Amino acid sequence: MDLGGPPEESAIEAYGVSKRYRRGWALRECSFRLPAGRICGLVGPNGAGKTTLMAMAANLLEPTNGSLKVFGAAPESAEAGRRTAFLAQEKPLFRRFTVAETLRLGRELNPGWDQQAAESIVRAGDVPMHAKIGTLSGGQRTRVAFALAFGKRPDLLMLDEPMSDLDPLVRHELMGTLLAAAAERGTTVLMSSHMLSELGDVCDFLLVISTGGLRMAGDVDEILSAHMLLQGVDNAPGQGRNPSPEVPADLARHTVIEYRTSGRQASALIRPDGPVSDRWQSHTPHLEELLLSYLRCPDAPALISPGAQVPGRLHGSETEAA
């Protein structure tokens, strides 16, 4: 049962996508692909354009420039709409509907509806079927919204900060349900989150955006192995913490994402180009450390791994080489 199609299939392809609101650009020139069957984390500071990006793929917004494809089809096509579910952060549901009526709406609107899957998610949280949505707690509403998104049996499930209002137990349970469904059906998941420590367990693909631009995209293992965390002694120690220390000459040949000193200690996150001098102790960074460095240093050169590139577009890594 291979619902994901051939391995090269893309769930999302973005070609130079930009979005401008009245207050300015929310997203600029984003080009990437998300291969089908991946569980992808979408990371970035508040206001970076995460919701905008997902809303465009879900056909709730139109790009100002550029275009997107969802499983090869335009987001506004019936085909893309049928295969996509988007769980928005505000979990829009009809407050006067009961839980049962909400699920019935899902059943009538979606040809591939799975009532059993939707009901079992609702039941696992002891949410009464006859209760009106407006009377539910925030966490219960999130659960119903989850059930609605799952019941649709989408091939691409997009979730905007899905776990923010859930207690740890429910978060663990719903994340388990999500991942089990993905394992069973090969569902592609795109999920924005600020919980960097959790992403490492859950995601195998990453998109990082900040100040409207794509900073990093690719397979998690590839991204991690492309970086090195170095620790050593600062050759020119200043007084205490230096906010912008000069990068030592022996690191100049590498791509330095972040260089920090504290007292006599120096640490750097680099993308190595050739061997690193012996005076540094090197480690493979954890995903959280790596993401924090990129978020702290929005000017660091972007990294778009080959598997995340769309043909015919200039990507961060190529810009850097030019």
The site for other proteins, by CB under 8 A, has a size of: 32
Q: Confirm or reject binding of residue 288 to other proteins (CB under 8 A).
A: no
Length of the chain: 322
| 114 lines the binding site for other proteins (CB under 8 A) | no
Applying CB under 8 A, does 167 fall inside the site for other proteins? no
Q: What are the tokens at 314?
A: 């200039």
Is residue 204 at the binding interface for other proteins, with CB under 8 A as the rule? Answer: yes
Least separation in angstroms between residue 198's CB and other proteins is 8
Q: Within 1-30, which residues bind other proteins (CB under 8 A)?
A: 1-4, 7
Among 12, 26, 28, 35, indicate the residue that binds other proteins (CB under 8 A): 35
CB 155 within 8 A of CB 112: no
Separation between Cα atoms, residue 149 and residue 144, nearest integer Å: 9
Instruction: Evaluate whether 310 touches 15 at the Cβ level (below 8 Å).
Output: yes
From the list 32-40, 88-96, 113-121, 250-258, the region that binds other proteins by CB under 8 A is 32-40
Letter for the amino acid at 84?
Answer: T
The answer to whether 38 contacts other proteins (rule: CB under 8 A) is yes
| Span interacting with other proteins, options 82-90, 112-120, 220-228, 269-277, rule CB under 8 A | 220-228
| CA pair distance 54, 73, nearest whole angstrom | 16
Q: Nearest distance from residue 209's CB to other proteins, in Å?
A: 21
Our finding on whether 185 is near other proteins (CB under 8 A) is yes
Strands, E, within the chain: which ranges? 10-21, 24-35, 39-43, 65-70, 84-87, 156-160, 188-192, 205-210, 213-219, 228-233, 241-242, 255-262, 265-271, 281-283, 303-304
Q: To the nearest whole angstrom, how small is the minimum distance from the Cβ of residue 76 to other proteins?
A: 27
Does 262 interact with other proteins (rule: CB under 8 A)? no
For every residue of 117-166, DSSP letters joined together read HHHHHHHHTT--TTSBGGGS-HHHHHHHHHHHHHHT--SEEEEESTTTTS
The two tokens of residue 56 are 């465009």
Binding mask 225-254 for other proteins (x = CB under 8 A): x-----------------------------
User: Which residue's CB is nearer to other proteins, number 197 or number 319?
Assistant: 197
- Closer to other proteins by Cβ: residue 4 or 128: 4
Report d(CA 10, CA 57) in Å as an integer.
13
Interface with other proteins, residue 169, by CB under 8 A? no
Name the site residues for other proteins (rule: CB under 8 A): 1-4, 7, 35-39, 172, 175-177, 179-180, 182-186, 197, 200-204, 219, 221-222, 225, 286
